[in-house]
Chain A
């Protein structure tokens, strides 16, 4: 196939003008809250309080008053939400949302759920991959 004469356009070859491959010296520091919650983009969070009980969110003194952004997050978290979803709905950068979610989690206002995929490297295990496969086949 590669020897066949071609009249059609050639595809550029990767690595033709390549500098040596390198792995970026990047250390993972983000995504973890003070108390060890991991906040990946797909991590689920939900409010701990019932939606009606919002007294402490609204009645606090000035110094303890919850910021509007925090209140908006708690409101959204009446449903199960992902970190990315909250950032998207509130139109706030992911990094900022992570910080605010960490604070809310540390204050016991929201609960951070594990993604159910992470041990060690955090790569999904075979059982999960099998489940995803059969789920996709059912679509």
Chain B
């Protein structure tokens, strides 16, 4: 690698980016869900930068091995993750990380959820099962989450309570029927997550 090229996509520079003597507070929200559920759409709808994509090279358990306590067969794979940014204040920046929802990428999430406010679990009612692994994972690690049902044009519209029942999630966890393309709808979803995180964080 003789030369490393990079493109800088920053359109408009924030004050915190140019001053290297102090860093703003960085916080993050994880956006999870199955393939094609709208994670990147959601991130794009609110991000102040064109979402960037980063790749993690990882060793994955073989398909058949569901129980990772056993020594699994391994292979190497690359997983892409999209992220966007929202500057909330001069000294406060929120990152949104869209991450693949498949069970076999759990080890990636462990790193990602550290320090996170919580997760938005995106669901598509036509393929509801795709979000089950994400729910299982966030429940097991105790990360606050909300369910965002991304309503696709022409798909059956379900009530939040129907979805809650199918997902067997407790009453205090918000279920939003939303549209990932709409900025307002995404902001409402983020607000409900942060509000929920606040509710479950001790005084």
Residues of A in contact with B (beta carbons under 8 Å apart): 1-2, 8-9, 11-15, 19, 21-26, 28, 30-31, 40-44, 46-48, 68-69, 71-72, 76-80, 82, 84-85, 87-91, 93-96, 111, 113-118, 122-126, 128-133, 135-139
Given the complex of chains A and B, what is the CA–CA distance between A69 and B8 in angstroms? 16
- Classify chain B: how many residues form its interface, as a range: 35 or more
Given the complex of chains A and B, what is the CA–CA distance between A1 and B81 in angstroms? 38
Which residues of chain B come closer than 8 Å to A89, judged between CB atoms?
6-8, 52
Among B112, B129, B194, B201, find the residue whose CB has the most chain A CB atoms closer than 10 A.
B194
Are the CB atoms of B191 and A31 closer together than 8 Å? no
- Tell me the nearest residue of chain A to B86, going by C-beta: A139
Among A19, A126, A138, find the residue whose CB has the most chain B CB atoms closer than 10 A.
A126
Q: B39 CB to closest chain A CB, in angstroms?
A: 15
Given the complex of chains A and B, what is the CA–CA distance between A10 and B92 in angstroms? 43
Are the CB atoms of B25 and A115 closer together than 8 Å? yes
| Number of A-B residue pairs at CB separation under 8 A | 204
Are the CB atoms of B187 and A136 closer together than 8 Å? yes
B1-31 CB mask vs A (1 if < 8 Å, else 0) is 1111011100001001111101111111000
Are the CB atoms of B1 and A40 closer together than 8 Å? no
Are the CB atoms of A1 and B162 closer together than 8 Å? yes
Given the complex of chains A and B, what is the CA–CA distance between A135 and B48 in angstroms? 14
- Contact with B56, one of A26, A93, A118 (Cβ below 8 angstroms): A93
Are the CB atoms of A79 and B68 closer together than 8 Å? no
